[in-house]
Every structure is written in structure tokens, then in C-alpha cells.
Amino acid sequence: MGIVQWATSPLGQHVPIHIAWFLIWVAVIAGLAFLIVHVIYMRFFAKEKEFAADLERFDRTQLPARVPRHSLTARLFHWVMAAAMLTLLFTAFLPKIGVEFDWVEYHWIAGVVLTISILFHIVHASFFLDFWSIWPDRTDIQDAWNRVQRFFGKPAPPPRKFAKYPLENKLYHGTVMLTGLAVIATGIFMMFRVRTIFFPRNPYLFGDMTWGLMYVLHGLAGVGFITLTIVHIYFAVRPEKLPITAGMLVGTMSREFYLKEHDPSRWTIKNLNQPHRGTSDGD
Ligand code: HEM
């Protein structure tokens, strides 16, 4: 039982045509298994988070009661992207598990919305947000090492509080970015195989082998998004993460939550004492 479905081309070549659809269930089960293991770990084994105590000298009265976290533009991007992603997942995979409908048109339209929103996000994040906030830095790596040591009961200093994003979020973002680039790059070419409003259909753009590999990559990245989306939604609804999820709706988080999880020297809130003026660092 391979992970790719093969066929014989008109030229008699043995070519891949797409992934084997049982991978949909592998991805769903992987997402649910992660969720179950994490729930058990958090419920029975996880200890209270411990951070290096280094905020004693921080003057918390400098912070607004509600700390800006995501600007309106960033929040709109997030929800447009989420709507496009869910539409892509449902239109792609429902027909494969027996819910038949004319999915291709809805699918490529959602694909175009996702592509435009990601292009917008790249420009927005590069020139208007704190670009480096989502990439692992030296402290993240040192702290990750210390956290692993402490997990195995070895002596190591407690980690510092997080910058804007913990290492786990940064790694998740990197994975989504690579998987997203794969579905988008292949999806744009696959639009030549169907009728769209953008360019004339041209199924002869590539040979059968190249098309087949492209469909396989699109499918593998696509099922990857099933697992990634399950994990993302699971964390969004976990009770201790709800203030972060609410931040993606209202744009702010409480000063107490900010100080509990974040290090003001690693995630500096600008415009201190001007809580009603714009979004400070709100990316
Ligand atoms: C998470 C995002 C996405 C998922 C889960 C996904 C999944 C899928 C799957 C499973 C197929 C069927 C492939 C096959 O038969 O082997 C498909 C087809 C297709 N996808 Fe996507 N896709 C995504 C994003 C995109 C994007 C961003 C675009 C366009 C920019 C796109 C354009 C297409 C097109 C045009 C087809 C139809 C090809 C055909 O029927 O010949 N997809 N997609």
C-alpha cells in the first residue's frame, strides 16, 4: 500500500497521479493523537511553568492595562487566511471521503484568496511589523536546551520569559510557511489544468511525470495542513491560551497576562503611557 497512486500515461510511462487518499485519515489521526497525548501530558505530568525571575525591577505602571498585540490589519489578514484555508481543506477533502460536489471552482478561488493574502502578509510583515519577532533567536535556542535538560531532571537554569512568540509558535510558523509555499506554488500551476478566469487552460504545460509529481506534492502538503490545522485550533481553544486567542479578535491582551508570559526587554511595548494611540508593536 503506497502513499502515491500511479497510472500508465498514453505514452506507456508509469507515472504518479496523486497521493493515496487514505493519507487523509493518517493526517486526521496524527492530529487527534497529538491532541490526546498533549491533554494527558498537561493533565497529569506537566509542572507549573517556571521562568527566570528577572522582572523585579520592571516598572509595570509604564504599561497600559491592555497591551496591544495584533493590529487590525494583522487580525483581518489572519481571519481571511483562516477562512481561505478551511475552504481549501473542505473543498479538497470532502469529495475524497464521499461528499460529492463540484468543488474545483470553489477550491481554486479560495486558493487565489490564500495566495493574495499571503503575498500581502509578506509585504506587511517585512515592512510594517517586527519581521524578526517570528524567527528563533539565540535566547530561544539556549532556553530550549535548558528546558530539555530540566525535563530530564538535569540541573539547568530556568528559561527566560518569552519574547512576543515562544519557540514553539516560531517553529509552527516556519512549518506552515514551507507547507503553504508548497501548496501555493503547485496550486498556481495546477490552475492551468482547470478552467479559470486568469489564463487559458493548458494541460500540456508539463509532461505527465512532472504533473504527477506536482499533484503528489500538492496533496502531501495539503494533508499536512489537516494535521497542522487540528493542532492550531486545539491550542487556540485550550483554556490557558484563550487570552491569546481573544487577542486575535480584539487586538489586545491584559497587562497581567503579558507580564506572566513575556519578557518586556525581549518584547518591548512602544508608546508606553499612550494606551489609546494606535497599536504600538501590534503585529
Ligand atoms: C491548504 C491548502 C490546500 C489544500 C489542502 C489543497 C488540497 C488539494 C487537493 C487534495 C487537491 C486534489 C489533488 C489531486 O487530485 O491530486 C487539490 C487540487 C487543486 N488545487 Fe489545491 N489545495 C490547497 C491549496 C491550493 C491553492 C493555494 C491553490 C491555488 C493557488 C490550489 C489549486 C488547486 C487546483 C487548481 C486543483 C485542481 C486540479 C485538478 O483538478 O486538476 N490549491 N488541492
Going by CA atoms, what residue is nearest to atom 36 of ligand 1? 190
**Which residue is it, cell 481554486?**
108
Paired residues of 34 in beta bridges: none
- Total number of residues shown for the chain: 283
Please give the distance, rounded to the nearest whole angstrom, from the Cα atom of residue 184 to the centre of ligand 1. 9
Lowest mean pLDDT of 47-61, 250-264, 265-279, name the range: 265-279
Is residue 203 within 8 Å of 192, Cβ to Cβ? yes
The cell for 219 is: 496533496
- The DSSP element (H or E) to which 254 belongs, if any, is strand 252-254
Query: How close is the Cα of 34 to the center of ligand 1, in Å?
Result: 25
In this predicted structure, the answer to whether residue 281 has a pLDDT above a threshold of 60 is no
Ligand 1 pocket test: pick from 19, 28, 80, 88 the residue with the most ligand atoms within 8 Å of its Cβ: 88
Task: List the Cα angle 72/75/80 in 5-degree steps.
Answer: 125
pLDDT in tens, 169-202: 999 999 999 999 999 999 999 999 999 999 999 9
Cα 205 to ligand 1 centre (Å):
17
pLDDT digits (tens, 9 = 90+) for 26-84: 999 999 999 999 999 999 998 888 888 766 667 777 889 999 999 999 999 999 999 99
87-139 residue pLDDT tens:
999 999 999 999 999 999 999 999 999 999 999 999 999 999 999 999 999 99
Q: Please give the average per-residue pLDDT across 242-268, as a whole number.
A: 94
Confidence of residue 155 (pLDDT cuts 50, 70, 90): very high
* DSSP strands (E only) in 63-215: 66-68
pLDDT value at residue 55: 63
Residue of the CA atom closest to atom 4 of ligand 1 = 222
